[in-house]
Structure 1
Amino acid sequence: MREIVFDTETTGLDPSAGDRVTEIGCVEVVDCIPTGRTFHTYVNPERDVPQVVTEITGLTAEFLADKPLFAEIAQKFLDFVGDAGLVAHNAPFDRGFINMELARLEHPVIADDRFRDTVAIARKKFPGSPASLDALCKRFNISLDSREKHGALTDAVLLADVYLELNGGRERALDLAGDAASAGSGTVFPPRRARPVPLTSLSTDAERAAHADFVATLGGGDSVWKRTGGL
């Protein structure tokens, strides 16, 4: 199942009061696993950006002045999304802004039932626990090192990791049943960050050769062990 995990940055909290979108970041996932495809753009909101918002996002009216208007990127965004479901953290907020911008262009809005809210999922899964994106990243040991300010693509990448964990965790990426790796899914295995100092191998050449011979008996070229590199 193809979905788009996305985030928006805006000039404020209320689209009905004149607040506008300033940034959109999207991450494509298939069966909850990131494929590597992303969409990102800044947007000229055609208005000022309050200082309190700049302190959170780092975005200023001056920086956004030469960026495309929403009207110029709307079709590119819709083409990337296609008919996929949309996943957001506090989805009613992002849905409200995206649909407001589409309505301003007299474009059909995106139906409510296409959105999934990771806040609601987290609160159901962990009742009584904090459900902010930061709190969920800490719960699942997802690094926040890349996040100096709130950025739409940065937050969408983090949310994609959180969404995977909320739906079964990284063991889902191994897909031992073969469902997510079925032909045509386009799914890729999430990359692992390289160790600063590689571990020394504890196996001998003979042991590695024996292991390779064993893996060769486990199936065709698309077997899990061959796709993930074995040991």
Structure 2
Amino acid sequence: MPAPRFLSDKICTVRAKRERRKEARPGELLEAALDLFVEKGFAATRSEEVAARAGVSKGTLFLYFPSKEELFKAVVVENLAGRFTEWNREFDEFEGSTIDMLRYCMRIWWERVGSTKASGLTKLMLSEGRNFPELAEFYRREVVKPGHTLLRRIIRRGVDSGEFAPVDVDNAIYAVISPMIFLMLWKHSAPICVDGESDIDPEKYLAIQTDIVLNGLCKSKAAA
């Protein structure tokens, strides 16, 4: 005899909730892992802590991510490496000057990465990468290399258009990267990088650093 209609509907509802919960688990696990990696570092974070924070068992965690290393890689892809397709597309479609592009690049980096928890991944790799060479190489390949490539494209665009003076592009990119790294360290470390009498306004800081970079790159200061 078939189950009563109300019972059948209830079973379907429970199954639907379970399916939605199952689909949500990878995202919840990645979010929990990001929180703990940034709070505690890679070495000090235990897989069972990630599972507990996500509200699942350790066994469930390993169904999706077979090791802590693979979990970390997935966190990096989700929050950083997986976004370069979007960022390169923005470069290709940008219609303004390269000066405007560089200003936009540094401002939008802060909004999308620097001001978020994901910026703690860079600080983590700077402090622990030497102890985990496989993860360091993964981060270099998936985040550092494409990031440098994109910045080279921006600076070469300015040189080719005549907005920037000819420069050693491979080294010039670090004039842009260094202020970003400083902000990430400042955000996730003890406040020892400032004089103690004033705090840093990240957006104002990046605007000033961009001006400094541009006044060193542009043929004419008036152009910047």
Larger Rg computed on CA atoms: 2
TM-score, normalised by the number of residues in structure 2: 0.25
| Structure richer in helix, relative to its length | 2
